[in-house]
Structure 1
């Protein structure tokens, strides 16, 4: 099991029933024993595009992901372009959380941003101090080291299964479990 720290992937147990997190993968961006944890669901597509939420964006094909149930009136992003987007926090080597949003809008509108290297979220996933540890003890999550190919996978429906498969054959078999074990 990977320790909880920025860059850890939280892979939902196949039988986790919470509708916010069933069959999801969360990228942990921050974890502090005394303050709690923060991250984004990587594989839950939101029902609006970025330009629907940010009218200044001129491109209408940029997806937004449901980052989690906390503050769903906020937009966040992760990216792989620190040379263009200043002010981000490096989560794992080559992956940054946040930065200057006005710069992002300008780069998008001018066609200067590689849209395969940035991901937008509405809301986030948050845990108070000790809450995530309790969920880990309850076996709600399987942990993995952050992997750029998982984090920026364009086919969101593949992320959960691929994250399990990357852990080896013992976990790969779980990717085909039904949500309800009674259907097994």
Structure 2
């Protein structure tokens, strides 16, 4: 039986995941393919670098906080942008995520071609965020990490990707799940201080 795609879902780090790059991270999965692997961006790691300092022409369209986000440890010298059109039309320079399940909760979220002139695309966007770097797993690697208990796979909301308060996103996403995961959301950042 074919596994459902993770595209459009969140990977939320469990408390056991202590690697500095992924500790308490919330990853939005951009693409999950059986043969190519999985690609995503960490959506709760804002940097202090303003979008204006890197992509000045795009800065007026960035969703608050209008900073670059550390999308992951791979390809940190390149930028990747996500956006949602402000209308039902698909604007030039915006590409919807492919490979989404029919029950995905982010059907209007897509990739932005940063080579498109912002004056053409920017005004058509309702939300826009830029990430430096991304996360990536080869075929089968992420499945093994999920089985080991490193990640919770949860539904994503557009508000997760474009949160105005990304620093508290890990707790908020877990809390809204209810049950045991709501309890995990209260897990202390440093258990030795408990």
Whether TM exceeds 0.5 here: the answer is yes
1:119 paired residue number: 129
Q: CA RMSD in A?
A: 2.5
Q: Which of 70, 73, 83 is 1:69 aligned to?
A: 73
50-59 vs 31-40, greater mean Cα deviation: 50-59
Deviation, 1:152, is 1.8
Q: Distance in 1 between matches of 2:19 and 2:181?
A: 20
Question: Which structure 1 residue ranges, 4+ long, deviate > 2 Å from structure 2?
Answer: 54-62, 82-87, 89-92, 102-108, 111-114, 179-184
Which 5+ residue runs of structure 2 have no aligned equivalent? 101-105
SS in 2 for 1:18: coil
What do residues 127-157 of structure 1 show as CA deviations (whole Å, max 9, x unaligned)? 1111111111111101111212222211111
> How many residues are matched?
179
TM-score normalized by the length of structure 2: 0.81
Kept in 2, the 8 Å contact 1:35–1:128? The answer is yes
What do residues 82-117 of structure 1 show as CA deviations (whole Å, max 9, x unaligned)? 633434133531111x23324363258xx7355x61
Task: Output aligned runs, 1:1-184, within 5 Å.
Answer: 3-57=4-58, 59=60, 62-81=66-85, 83-90=90-97, 92-96=106-110, 98-103=111-116, 105-106=118-119, 112=123, 117-184=127-194
> Cα gap change, 1:7/1:74 in structure 2, threshold over 3 Å: closer, same or farther?
same
SS in 2 for 1:73: strand
Q: Distance in 2 between matches of 1:42 and 1:150?
A: 7
Q: Distance in 2 between matches of 1:23 and 1:4?
A: 23
